[in-house]
Amino acid sequence: MVDSHIEEVTFYTNGAVVTRKAVIDGGLRQARVILDNVEDSIDPKSIKAYLSDGYVRNISYEKYKKKPEKEEIEEIELTRRLKELKRKKEILSSRIKGLETYISSIDQGFSSAITAFMATVSVGKAEPNSVLESARRLLEDREKALGELVEAKFSLEEVENEIKSLESRLKREPKLVDVGKIIIDIEGVSSDRLELGVSYVVWNAYWSPFFDVFVDGEKVSVNMYARLIQGTGNVWKNVRPYITSKRIGRVEKVEAAPWYISLYRYEEEMVMAAEKEERALRAVPPAPRRVKKTVPKPSFQKAEVIIGEYISFKAPSPVDLEPNRPLLILLSDYSFKGEVRIFWDAFTQHSPIEFIKFKNTSDSSLPRGPAKVYKGNIFVGETDLGPISPGQEMELALTEADLLETRKRQVVGEASKTFIGGKAVLRRGYRLFLKSHYKDKVRVEVYDRIPVSEDPEIEVELKEVNPQLAEKPDMGILKWELELNPGEEKEIYFEFEVTYPAKETLEGI
């Protein structure tokens, strides 16, 4: 058995590579090295050993059950404490026995003194003062010894109760856990000191990105963290994590292959009436002939992975990683210039919201991950951020724009319906109202809709719009971009016309 320690751990998004180091005595041509108390979730196929001298002949991995390390330490401590208590019990029992003997001797001495005193009184030679003083001293000694005896018995009772408790805890069946051990057979070792390194993959340790986003006016600050998780059951002490955005695994390389199609046909055999009668006599049911369809070749075939360049991070200092207790490590921080805008979708009647647009001006990609968003010192909420490539623009919703007053009203409706040449014409007009209560100028994006025809006999035409749209309507979506000064009011008006067969009825409007 050889003690080893974890030197480093490289965290991937779906697993981790653990590297252990050990130093052992050399000088043996052949040796079997066992690294015990390693993780129980090691992928045996991933184990690789490195030697400073000699070479590896074989590597194997086994799992077995044992008491948890904490329970082993606790058992050792309980056994030590039990031994101390039993020794204390012996001392207390001996002391109690001595005090009881001492008190008994005092009682006997006091009785002898009284007898002697009575004898002297009968002959007229009694000295009361001296006898009384002796009796007083004996009573004081007895009282003191009796107090010590009561205290010793009380302490003995406490010790005996604690001994019973410890013995009960030591007798209970421990909960066994799975642990692993790596067995390495080596040969050709000539040096007196051998350095051994072992690396392997565990699948229940990994990392995921986590973000804090701070919006302060037009400034967007993004802190990216690595949320490290390890569920191996072992405590990783004083390890320096390496974090990479790549994944462990293989992917499929596409091999181009033809795409075959064919017709699936049945051909019934033409049978003469006489043949049918003959089959009927033989009670043989007719069997239609079928042309088998051509089986197409597969369009894709498997191949191996090709790994490219990925972002990697190295933790600034060693950390302790306990099982199933996530740890956050700050990887990097970014600062971007953004633009706060207000979004109002008048068609859905949703309240306007504030959002910020910013561009990733760094050279790094931000992976996808959950984010906590703050506006100033106020926590706004949680969202998903990323992935954001260098140069990519991003929009992030912030909070309700409660300082922008908005209303929508229909001003032209069913009353404008007319019939021309067998066609019905429906006009609709809407007025949107906005008023800013912000102390600074704000930019607002306003959206609304006109219907989109799914039938060639229905025509929809935008007849009037003021102010002009920010961009050409796409699938009936109207967009305006406005700027409002503090206290400023603005209105939007648009009107559309729907023409359809008079005998039909419109749906969806």
pLDDT tens column, 340-377: 999 999 998 788 999 999 999 998 888 889 999 998 88
Instruction: Please say if the pLDDT value at position 300 is more than 70.
Output: no
- pLDDT for res 488: 96
- Name residues whose C-beta falls within 8 Å of residue 281's C-beta, 6 or more positions apart in sequence: none
For the chain, the straight-line distance linking the first and the last C-alpha, in angstroms and rounded, comes to 80
- Higher pLDDT: 363 or 413? It is 363
**Residue 414 DSSP symbol:** G
pLDDT of residue 420: 59
| Mean pLDDT calculated for residue range 63-83 | 81
- pLDDT at residue 299 tops 50: no
pLDDT, residue 268, reads 43
Full-prediction pTM beyond 0.85? no
Supply the pLDDT for residue 482: 97
Average pLDDT over the chain, rounded to an integer: 82
Query: Tokens 């102010």, residue?
Result: 467
Name which of 13-22, 303-312, 394-403, 450-459 the model is least confident about. Answer: 303-312
pLDDT of 430-487, one tens digit each? 999 999 999 999 999 999 999 998 888 899 999 999 999 999 998 999 999 999 999 9
pLDDT of residue 214: 94
Phi, psi of 328 (to 5 degrees): -100, 135
pLDDT for position 338: 93
Among the ranges given (94-103, 125-134, 141-150, 266-275), the one the predictor scored with the smallest mean pLDDT: 266-275
Q: What is the 3-state secondary structure (H, E, C) of 10-58?
A: EECCCCEEEEEEEEEECCCCEEEEEEEEECCCECHHHCEEEECCCEEEE
**Among 265-274, 375-384, 448-457, the least confident range:** 265-274
Question: What does the buried/exposed string (b/e) look like for 86-96 if buried means 16 or more CB atoms within 10 Å of the residue's CB?
Answer: eebbeebeebb
Judge contact between 271 and 286, C-beta under 8 A.
yes
- Is residue 281 very low, low, confident or very high in pLDDT (cuts 50, 70, 90)? very low
77 phi, psi to nearest 5 deg:
-65, -40
Residue 424 to residue 417: CA distance in whole angstroms: 7
| CATH level 3 topology of 404-501 | Immunoglobulin-like (2.60.40)
Lowest mean pLDDT among 27-36, 174-183, 413-422, 432-441: 413-422
Average pLDDT over residues 24-52: 86
With 70 as the cut, is the pLDDT of residue 294 above it?
no
Would you state the pLDDT for residue 265? Answer: 45
What DSSP element (H or E) covers 340?
Answer: strand 327-345
Least confidently predicted of 221-225, 290-294, 296-300: 296-300
The answer to whether 30 touches 53, Cβ cutoff 8 Å, is: no
The predicted-structure confidence for 387-401, as pLDDT tens digits, reads as follows 899 999 999 989 899
Query: Model confidence at 500, in pLDDT bands (50, 70, 90)?
Result: confident
Give the Cα separation of 494 and 484 in Å (integer).
Answer: 20
Q: What is the pLDDT of residue 506?
A: 82
Mean pLDDT of 409-423: 70
pLDDT at 304 (0 to 100): 25
Q: Are 36 and 181 in contact (CB under 8 A)?
A: yes
β-strand partners of 419: 424
Confidence category of residue 276, pLDDT binned at 50, 70, 90:
low
Model confidence at 127, pLDDT cuts 50, 70, 90, reads low
Selection from 166, 174, 168 nearest residue 81 by Cα: 166
Q: Does pLDDT of 324 surpass 70?
A: yes
Residue 152, pLDDT above cutoff 50:
yes
pLDDT at 330 (0 to 100): 87
Q: What is the DSSP letter of 480?
A: E
The pLDDT score that the predictor gives to residue 271 is 45
pLDDT at residue number 286: 42
Residues 6+ apart with CB under 8 A from 290: 266, 267
Higher pLDDT, 131 or 299: 131
Higher pLDDT, 459 or 172: 459
Q: Tell me, what's the pLDDT at 275? A: 55
The pLDDT value recorded for residue 269 is 44
| Average pLDDT score over residue span 278-299 | 40
Q: What is the percentage of the chain residues whose pLDDT exceeds 70?
A: 82
**Quick one: average pLDDT of 242-247?**
84
Question: Average pLDDT, stretch 405-418?
Answer: 77
